[in-house]
Structure 1
Amino acid sequence: MPSQQHLSSASDRIGNLPRLEGYYYPPEVALADNGRVHVATYIRADLKYKLIDPQMQDMEGLGSMCAVQISMRGRRPLNLVNVYYPRGCKAQGCTYWLTQLSSDSGSWVVMGDFNAHHRMWDADAESSPDTQLAEDISISDLVLLNDGTATRQAQRQRDRSSAIDLTLVSPELALTIDWQVYPNTLGSDHYLIHATIHEADPDPAEVDLTPKYICAKADWEKFKKTLTHICGETEFKDNDIDQ
């Protein structure tokens, strides 16, 4: 929440946000302490919505969040959470709130710039420092839609493009949603991400929730030794790897 001295500046910056035909204006936003707009959520003008509080106390002072619940005929409520974490935010437990989102209040879509690096969503990552976020995603009831495609372009010649913008959805939405990264930045250093929900989501009770492994806690050295031991005892009678 911006302080009183920043309210005027914040109002000016919100007023400078672009208008989109057919969408409410101004959009719902989340502001930094200096009044800078961190995230903006545009909602189609023919939809009813309300602001919600997903109880993200562990995010206070670490990032910005704007959460709305959208009502649509023939569908469960859709909870849309738009987040931004500043670069270098690696506070322990700052993404624990992901594990607390309940399907009782509707379906969830969490999107935003997490400024996080891990091989779970970026196969080309040189290291995986953000294991806390990876673990929180693993134990949550959300599905990560990222497929490894870079979402931010390299800014210097020696840098590489990276995937730091994540999209997480409820399991029932993952079955009906198309997720795609477009190679266009519109002047930003982040690529456009387009997610489309095509049809009414099925009853969550009918969704097969396959158990997930917490990769961040795996003992990979032990796994490697076990695999080496097993393979060492296997006799291959021919060169057909499909046998």
Structure 2
Amino acid sequence: MQNTLDYSTTDLVLFDEVIGKYGWIIYENALDPQFVEDIKQSLQPAYEFRRKIQVNNGIGESTDGTLHHLVEKDLFSLKFLEQKFGDKQIRHFLGGQYILNSLGAVINLRNSQTYVQNIHRDIRTFTGTYRLMFQMMVLLDDFTLENGATYFLSGSHLSDKKPEASSFYEHADRALGKKGSIVLFDSNLWHAAGKNNTDEPRRALTMAFTKPFMKQQMDYPRFLGYDFGAGLSEDLRQVIGYNSRVPADFEEYYQPVEKRMYQRGQE
């Protein structure tokens, strides 16, 4: 069964078959080429800002090339989320409304030793058939064998057992694809970034989406500001998490239904 499709393909039966068997799927031609370039241009200053904090806090070695929490007012993230890439698939996989758990990026460089090259899955507890989290990776450069295309151990989302490294690298597939493609995958799937053996960076956005009741890695509504959220579209308010907040005091708790921090329909 082919697990690389054009982004125009919205067949959810086929999506279920591919995700069920392999645990991952590639949708090509998802992002406009100019938008890809715009995102790439914005990553370096965002990385330099985060890198200073990583180094100052003593975690510079393991976080080389990683950018966490790119949900900022003046970055590309709001424009990206507003376009609802993969919305039908994510909504179908999670069974209804969802929110953004995290949005970051990886700049994979030659000789990088970042933690994303470790064999891992993106959810700490194996959830089996209960679908709690779903992952998205956006290719900002072509993914090749030479520049560290991600390893995916197809079918490993069905097992709780972490594979031995030798078995993983012997049997894992590689996410080879063109820039502008989107990779969707089950959070239970074991995977690892490959090593970049070229002199050019291999960049990607990394995202996790969850059922709304799951705690976000960063409180995006509070980070952006509650007043800022009032001016966003309803779709953005939903995915960023404005409809599934937790009250911090009695004033926030005792509110009419339409003003409650945790809105109806978030199951």
Tell me the TM-score normalized by structure 2: 0.26
Structure with the largest fraction of helix? 2
Structure with the largest fraction of strand? 1
Larger radius of gyration: 1
Tell me the TM-score normalized by structure 1: 0.28
- Kindly indicate whether structure 1 or structure 2 has the higher relative contact order, using CA contacts under 8 Å at least 6 residues apart: 2
